[in-house]
Amino acid sequence: MPAPIRLRELIRTIRTARTQAEEREMIQKECAAIRSSFREEDNTYRCRNVAKLLYMHMLGYPAHFGQLECLKLIASQKFTDKRIGYLGAMLLLDERQDVHLLMTNCIKNDLNHSTQYVQGLALCTLGCMGSSEMCRDLAGEVEKLLKTSNSYLRKKAALCAVHVIRKVPELMEMFLPATKNLLSEKNHGVLHTSVVLLTEMCERSPDMLLHFRKVWLLVPQLVRILKNLIMSGYSPEHDVSGISDPFLQVRILRLLRILGRSDDDSSEAMNDILAQVATNTETSKNVGNAILYETVLTIMDIKSESGLRVLAINILGRFLLNNDKNIRYVALTSLLKTVQTDHNAVQRHRSTIVDCLKDLDVSIKRRAMELSFALVNGNNIRGMMKELLYFLDSCDPEFKADCASGVFLAAEKYAPSKRWHIDTIMRVLTTAGSYVRDDSVPNLIQLITNSVEMHAYTVQRLYKALLDDISQQPLVQVSSWCIGEYGDLLVSGQCEEEEPIQVTEDEVLDVLEGLLVSNLSTPVTRGYSLTAIMKLSTRFSSVNRIKKVVSIYGSSIDVELQQRAVEYNALFKKYDHMRSALLERMPIMEKTASNGPTEIVQTNGETEPSVPDTKLPPLITQPANQANDLLDLLGGNDVVPVIQTTLPTKPASAGGELLDLLGDLSLSGGPAPAPSVPISQPPFLLDGLSSQPLFNDISAAIPPMTAYNKNGLKIEFTFERANPNPNIAVITIHATNTTEADMTEFVFQAAVPKTFQLQLLSPSSNIVPALNQGSVTQVIRVLNPQKQQLRMRVKLTYTHKGSPVQDLAEVNNFPPQSWQ
């Protein structure tokens, strides 16, 4: 039988194959030859055949039939055979294979071989892929070799021990005595592997760690070794670009980190050497920076003194300016880890970090973005936001969702003014609108509702954005919701922040109807626009057009739209008397605790455009029917318009229906549940309907007061604090009538200065019975974030003995406890 072809010959042949099929053919032929050669138990050429098999295995072809042959090679006496045999074992015989354990005996013999290179092969194989059983069997041999004076074997034994400990942690103890003397070696290979072994032990066992710290006094030993490394002159053997054995330096620094963590004494002992390494290491090449990087990580992790920490952060700052991309990347990752603990120090490098947003490398951009968001605070919000919005415009789509969420979060926390906040949101919606997360729509709606004085400006800007582009669904949804709510402000051209635009009711309805029919709109968006159109029926005069649209969608295929349209139709027909009340302006929505730290957006630093004026302007009397008339009455801008839900309650059955219809209305923010709206609405209604007894126990804390007493009508205020927010005062009014005639169609309205926000819930009834036979109660909630003195202007209208009566009064005698 001819000798099997040589390895190089085979490789050359296979490389000449021009197609995959050709290659496969060659390989199959060779495999067949190899298989028959194995069957013949040919000792001479086994090595060559297995080598060829390993080559074919690397190309991706199966080689399992060579596993046993590897074992035979390992058992052979020839060094060549052993070399290939062990290589084959490492490639083909991992611990999942059945024949794996058969190696154990061979390895045991070879660990005791007379030739160190054979011992080395055995240690290498065991340390690379030995299974737990094998490790258990052979740990003793490894431990023996750890104590030998042969440094070639000692270093391999140390790393083999690391593997044994990883596989069988219980065996750690047995290596302890042998490890003790390892650090006194001069040989760098042994030193390096010993440090690795010690690191592994410390990481796995806190007891071991303590033992090393206290008993072995490991820290001073390591400090000494490190010092010698740095101070010693040029050593050609271990030099890398002028630095002596960087691999060993880095491993020592890493072990020091573990030893110094949460231990003051150890940390102090290493302070000097860390400072020395940090200042003296050459930074022109990657190798020096690798050492500095490890030093910085160590300084930040142990209990280092503040001077050292500042030094570390400055090193990172210098890294950021380095031309080498890798170093910039590493700096950003490290700064991200330290930004929580050393915030101020990192802030100093903010401008460099922001510049990294413009880097071409994707990994660097992402790190820079995360770090930028971590650095945003009340002082730098304007500048940072400009950069971040610019980044949002130009970044890859994979970043846009995260960036948009980050912008919203930062804006919510640190917005300097409401107008700025709304402008920022608009910018995000228009540039990255299709990437914002789903939950941002209800959050934004809540924010807009609560920025009361910005309504006109907001709706105008959103309307203009809608005219430009209706493809970005979150933008469209928020816009249509706002137009539905504040459409009247839009057509009346009331905007004070910027030039008001001239828009007619028909134009607005055109836009909203356009959304309903457009292919770009999702079903959710269509729901928003239908509800918006419906709401405009109480704000616009073109009710007929709206009626028509609503009735058309009563037969829509989309079940959600159909249901809405049918219910709105019912509102037009059977429940028309409720329509105006149901479609009133939304009240201030309280954020639930889980939603965010602030309830209402706080102004932060900057003053609002219109400074709150504590002096209320003179009254102008006018017949009042709509909520906004109180605004005109009191001279306009200085007073917050009342947001009230005046629903005269009918007997129980109607109240039930009311609840259902309103249940639907509260979800008009969109089928995707707005987290705060449904939660806050029903309790308010229930509060209004069931009134006082809930609060009686707390009311004793603040004394009640008489707010108004004229012509037989007396109105008393009782107070309690709302939970959880102490800035909200809950006032219950009790209206009683001492005259002999009932006061019917009683309506109570109130207005407060600009720094407050007020909400009126529904009254218990609109008839104040004569001769104190009963009372009308109503709940008012006042938000007083600045704890200013509470003042209120009230307007009362009722019919008494057939003639309408109207009166205005100021209430100034609030007890101090109600607003402090």
Partner 1 sequence: MHFLLLFSRQGKLRLQKWFTPVPEREKKKIVRDMTTMVLGRKPRSCNFLHWKDLKIVYKKYASLYFCCGLDAEENELLALEVLHRYVELLDKYFGNVCELDIIFNFEKAYFILDEFLLGGEVQETSKQVLSRSIEASDMLQEVCFGRSCLLSVLSIIFSVVL
- Of 320-379, which residues contact partner 1 (CB under 8 A)? 325-330, 360-364
768: which strand partners? 743
Three-class DSSP labels, 182-234: HHHCCCHHHHHHHHHHHHHHHHHCHHHHHHHHHCCCHHHHHHHHHHHHHHCCC
Q: Tell me which residues in 82-101 interact with partner 1 (CB under 8 A).
A: 83-84, 87, 90-91, 94-96
> Does 182 interact with partner 1 (rule: CB under 8 A)?
no
Residue 275 token pair: 């400072």
Nearest CB to partner 1, comparing residues 7 and 139: 7
Q: Cβ of residue 289: shortest distance to partner 1, in angstroms?
A: 6
CA–CA gap between residue 635 and residue 656 (Å, rounded) = 39
Nearest CB to partner 1, comparing residues 269 and 287: 287
Stretch of 140-148, 160-168, 669-677, 707-715 lying at the interface with partner 1 (CB under 8 A): 160-168
Handedness of CA 667, 670, 676, 677 (dihedral sign): negative
Other CB atoms within a 10 A radius of the CB of residue 587 amount to: 20
Nearest CB to partner 1, comparing residues 155 and 400: 155
What single DSSP character describes residue 628?
A: T
Q: Cβ of residue 158: shortest distance to partner 1, in angstroms?
A: 8
> Does 193 interact with partner 1 (rule: CB under 8 A)?
yes
Q: Cβ of residue 228: shortest distance to partner 1, in angstroms?
A: 15
Which of 566, 551, 528, 733 has its CA nearest to residue 646?
A: 733
> Nearest-5° angle of CA 468, CA 472, CA 473?
125
Q: Tell me how long the chain is.
A: 820
How many residues bind to partner 1 according to rule CB under 8 A?
A: 72
Q: Cβ of residue 195: shortest distance to partner 1, in angstroms?
A: 10
Nearest CB to partner 1, comparing residues 332 and 546: 332
Stretch of 102-110, 239-247, 305-313, 669-677 lying at the interface with partner 1 (CB under 8 A): 239-247
Nearest CB to partner 1, comparing residues 76 and 711: 76
Q: Is residue 143 within a helix (H) or strand (E), and if so which, with residue range?
A: helix 132-146
**Of 162, 308, 511, 782, which lies in the binding site for partner 1, with binding defined by CB under 8 A?**
162
Nearest CB to partner 1, comparing residues 155 and 349: 155
> Does 60 interact with partner 1 (rule: CB under 8 A)?
yes
Stretch of 230-238, 348-356, 438-446, 667-675 lying at the interface with partner 1 (CB under 8 A): 230-238
CA–CA gap between residue 375 and residue 336 (Å, rounded) = 10
CA–CA gap between residue 515 and residue 480 (Å, rounded) = 9
Nearest CB to partner 1, comparing residues 12 and 386: 12
Three-class DSSP labels, 433-444: HHHCCCCHHHHH
**Of 146, 159, 429, 760, which lies in the binding site for partner 1, with binding defined by CB under 8 A?**
159
Nearest CB to partner 1, comparing residues 123 and 534: 123
CA–CA gap between residue 456 and residue 528 (Å, rounded) = 19
Residue 576 token pair: 């028309």
Q: Cβ of residue 237: shortest distance to partner 1, in angstroms?
A: 4
Nearest CB to partner 1, comparing residues 161 and 782: 161
Buried b (16+ CB within 10 A) or exposed e, 139-158: bebbbebbeeeebbbbbbbb
Rounded (10°) angle between helices 455-468 and 505-517:
50
Residue 699 token pair: 């009311």
Which of 128, 130, 164 has its CA nearest to residue 144?
A: 164
Contact predicate 111/122, CB 8 Å: yes
> Does 224 interact with partner 1 (rule: CB under 8 A)?
no
Contact predicate 134/101, CB 8 Å: yes
Q: Tell me which residues in 711-740 interact with partner 1 (CB under 8 A).
A: none
Nearest CB to partner 1, comparing residues 135 and 415: 135
**Of 293, 399, 463, 819, which lies in the binding site for partner 1, with binding defined by CB under 8 A?**
293
Which residue reads 């940072």 in tokens? Answer: 384
Buried b (16+ CB within 10 A) or exposed e, 724-750: eeebbbbbbbbbbbeeeebbeebbbbb
Nearest CB to partner 1, comparing residues 283 and 598: 283
Cα dist from 377 to 351, 411, 416, 727, whole Å = 14, 10, 11, 25
**Of 4, 66, 85, 246, which lies in the binding site for partner 1, with binding defined by CB under 8 A?**
246
Q: Cβ of residue 529: shortest distance to partner 1, in angstroms?
A: 42
> Does 160 interact with partner 1 (rule: CB under 8 A)?
yes
Nearest CB to partner 1, comparing residues 329 and 717: 329
> Does 163 interact with partner 1 (rule: CB under 8 A)?
yes
Q: Cβ of residue 3: shortest distance to partner 1, in angstroms?
A: 12
Nearest CB to partner 1, comparing residues 328 and 539: 328
Nearest CB to partner 1, comparing residues 82 and 309: 82
Q: Amino acid letter at 418?
A: K
Q: Cβ of residue 370: shortest distance to partner 1, in angstroms?
A: 13
**Of 287, 665, 729, 792, which lies in the binding site for partner 1, with binding defined by CB under 8 A?**
287
Stretch of 51-59, 103-111, 349-357, 399-407 lying at the interface with partner 1 (CB under 8 A): 51-59
CA–CA gap between residue 566 and residue 122 (Å, rounded) = 82
Which x/- pattern over 136-155 shows residues binding partner 1 (rule: CB under 8 A)? ----------------x--x
Which of 97, 40, 32 has its CA nearest to residue 61?
A: 32
Q: Cβ of residue 189: shortest distance to partner 1, in angstroms?
A: 4
CA–CA gap between residue 214 and residue 493 (Å, rounded) = 78
> Does 156 interact with partner 1 (rule: CB under 8 A)?
yes
Nearest CB to partner 1, comparing residues 242 and 663: 242
> Does 124 interact with partner 1 (rule: CB under 8 A)?
yes
Contact predicate 327/313, CB 8 Å: no
Nearest CB to partner 1, comparing residues 35 and 83: 83
**Of 38, 138, 175, 188, which lies in the binding site for partner 1, with binding defined by CB under 8 A?**
188
Contact predicate 367/355, CB 8 Å: no
Three-class DSSP labels, 771-786: HHCCCEEEEEEEECCC
What single DSSP character describes residue 768?
A: B
CA–CA gap between residue 136 and residue 171 (Å, rounded) = 8
Q: Cβ of residue 266: shortest distance to partner 1, in angstroms?
A: 19
Q: Cβ of residue 400: shortest distance to partner 1, in angstroms?
A: 19
Q: Cβ of residue 50: shortest distance to partner 1, in angstroms?
A: 10
> Does 58 interact with partner 1 (rule: CB under 8 A)?
yes
